[in-house]
C-alpha cells in the first residue's frame, strides 16, 4: 500500500485518516499541534500554510487530503495562504490533491444544489471557499497538479462535536429530553451529510483519475428538516417527543455580540431559512459510494454520543 497525507484532524480529517489506515495505507496526519501516533497513523506538528515544510512532509505520498480549516471567523484572511501552500505541495510532489469543500461557494440558489451551478457566493466565506477551488482547478487545467474537490453539506455523525448543526446544538440536548433551539426555520428541508460517507467519498475519488479536475457532491440522503431529523434522533434515543423551536432573532443577535462563531453565521442564514437540498446523483452515477441508510446514520450517531456522554460524565 502507499503513503497518504491528511491535513487536519477535525472530524473529517480524523475519519479519513482512520479509513485509509483500515485500508492498509500508511497515513501521515498534519496539524499545528500534532498528537500521539495511532495504529497506522503518524501525526506531525507543522503549519500547513508553510509551503516548504508542507512539501517536505508530503514527499513520497501519492495523495494529499486537505481537510483542515482555519477558525471560522478567520477564513477570509487565513484560507488563501493555506490553499496556496497545499497547491504548491501537490505541484512539487505530484500527489493527487483532494480538497474537502462545502456548499458556501454557490451562494443562495433556488432549487436543488448541483455541481454545475456557478460559484456565485456574495459573502466573504463563500467567496474564499470558491476561490480556493478555482485556484486548484486552474492549476489542474494547466497540467501542474491533479486536483479534485468533494463537497459536503452540514455533516453529522460519530466524531462531530461542534460546528455541525446537528452536533453541539441538538444531539446533547435531545439525549436529555430537553427542548432544542435551532438556527432558521426548523421545518425547512435540509440536506445532512453523514461523516463516514464524507471520508469514503474522499478516499474513492483520489484513486479515480476520471474524477479529477472537477467537484463532486458527497452522496447524501433525502433532505429532512431539522425538526424531522431531531425527531428521528430522539426516537432512537428514546427521548421523543422533543420540542424543536427556532432560535429567536433577538437571542441570536445577543449571542453574536459575544461569540465570533454566531456572528459569522449571519452569512449563511439562508441555508436554514429556506430549503437547502443537495443533489448527489452525478457522483452516484459514476462511482460506488452511496449514502449510508438513514436508520444506520441515526443509530450510530446516538450510540456514539451516549458513549461519549458516559465517558465524560
Residues 233 and 88 in one domain: no
Q: Is the pLDDT of residue 268 over 90?
A: no
Average confidence score pLDDT of the chain: 93
Strand pairing partners for 56? Answer: none
Q: Does residue 242 share a domain with residue 201?
A: no
The answer to whether residue 281 sits within a structural domain is no
Q: Is a pLDDT exceeding 70 seen at residue 84? A: yes
Assigned domain for 90 exists: yes
- When mean pLDDT is compared over 42-46, 122-126, 257-261, the highest value belongs to 42-46
Q: Which residues pair with 151 in a beta bridge?
A: 101, 217
> Which of the pair, 22 or 309, is modelled with greater confidence?
22
Does residue 282 lie in a domain region?
Answer: no
237 and 115 in a single domain? The answer is: no
Is the same domain home to 237 and 226? yes
CATH of the domain at 134: 3.40.50.720
Q: Does the residue 132 lie in any domain?
A: yes
pLDDT for the residue numbered 260: 72
Asked whether residue 148 falls in the same domain as residue 240, the answer is: no
The predicted pLDDT at position 312 comes to 53
pTM of the predicted model, to two decimals?
Answer: 0.95
For the ranges 47-56, 100-109, 268-277, which has the lowest average pLDDT?
A: 268-277
**Mean pLDDT across 83-108:** 98
Assigned domain for 13 exists: yes
d(C-alpha 226, C-alpha 265), whole Å: 17
Q: Span 62-76, mean pLDDT?
A: 94
What is the residue range of 230's domain? 159-191+222-276+293-312
Determine which of 35-39, 196-200, 244-248, 250-254 has the lowest per-residue pLDDT on average: 250-254
| Domain shared by 146 and 57, yes or no | yes
Answer yes or no: is pLDDT of 207 > 60: yes
In a domain, 286, yes or no: no
The answer on 137 and 118 residing in a single domain is yes
> Would you place residue 180 in the very low, low, confident or very high pLDDT band (cuts 50, 70, 90)?
very high
Q: Number of folded domains in the chain?
A: 2
Q: Do 241 and 133 share a structural domain?
A: no
The yes-or-no verdict on residue 165 having pLDDT over 80 is no
Task: Please tell me the least confidently modeled range out of 50-59, 87-96, 228-237, 241-250.
Answer: 241-250
Kindly state whether residues 126 and 229 are assigned to the same domain: no
Residue 297 belongs to some domain of the structure: yes
Alpha carbon 276 to chain centroid distance?
16
Q: Are residues 64 and 173 in the same domain?
A: no
Q: Looking at the structure, tell me whether residues 210 and 165 fall in a common domain.
A: no
Instruction: Give me the percent of the chain exceeding a pLDDT of 70.
Output: 97
Give domain status of residue 288, yes or no: no
Q: Is the pLDDT of residue 252 over 90?
A: no
Pair 18, 140 in one domain = yes
Amino acid at each position: 500500500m502507499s503513503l497518504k497525507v491528511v491535513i487536519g484532524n477535525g472530524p473529517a480529517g480524523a475519519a479519513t485518516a482512520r479509513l485509509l489506515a483500515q485500508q492498509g495505507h500508511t497515513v501521515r496526519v498534519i496539524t499545528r499541534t500534532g498528537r500521539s501516533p495511532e495504529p497506522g497513523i503518524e501525526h506531525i506538528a507543522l503549519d500547513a500554510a508553510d509551503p516548504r515544510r508542507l512539501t517536505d512532509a508530503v514527499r513520497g505520498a501519492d495523495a494529499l487530503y486537505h481537510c483542515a480549516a482555519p477558525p471560522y471567523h478567520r477564513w477570509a484572511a487565513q484560507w488563501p495562504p493555506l490553499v496556496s501552500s497545499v497547491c504548491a505541495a501537490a505541484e512539487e510532489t505530484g500527489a493527487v490533491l483532494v480538497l474537502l469543500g462545502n456548499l458556501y461557494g454557490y451562494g443562495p440558489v433556488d432549487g436543488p444544489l448541483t455541481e454545475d451551478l456557478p460559484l456565485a457566493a456574495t459573502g466573504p466565506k463563500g467567496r474564499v471557499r470558491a476561490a480556493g477551488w478555482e485556484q486548484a482547478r486552474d492549476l489542474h487545467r494547466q497540467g501542474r497538479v491533479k486536483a479534485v474537490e468533494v463537497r459536503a453539506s452540514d455533516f453529522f455523525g460519530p466524531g462531530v462535536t461542534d460546528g455541525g448543526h446537528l452536533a453541539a446544538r441538538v444531539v446533547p440536548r435531545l439525549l436529555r429530553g430537553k427542548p432544542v433551539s435551532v438556527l432558521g426555520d426548523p421545518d425547512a428541508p435540509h440536506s445532512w451529510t453523514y461523516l463516514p460517507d464524507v471520508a469514503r467519498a474522499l478516499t474513492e475519488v483520489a484513486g479515480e483519475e476520471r474524477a479529477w479536475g472537477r467537484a463532486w457532491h458527497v452522496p447524501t440522503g433525502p433532505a429532512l428538516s431539522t425538526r424531522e431529523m431531531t425527531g428521528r434522533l430522539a426516537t432512537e434515543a428514546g427521548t421523543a417527543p422533543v420540542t424543536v423551536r427556532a432560535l429567536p432573532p433577538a437571542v441570536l443577535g445577543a449571542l453574536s455580540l459575544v461569540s465570533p462563531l454566531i456572528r459569522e453565521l449571519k452569512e449563511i442564514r439562508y441555508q436554514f431559512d429556506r430549503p437547502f437540498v443537495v443533489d448527489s446523483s452525478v457522483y452516484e452515477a459514476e462511482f460506488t459510494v452511496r449514502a449510508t441508510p438513514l436508520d444506520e446514520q441515526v443509530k450510530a450517531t446516538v450510540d456514539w454520543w451516549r458513549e461519549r456522554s458516559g465517558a465524560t460524565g
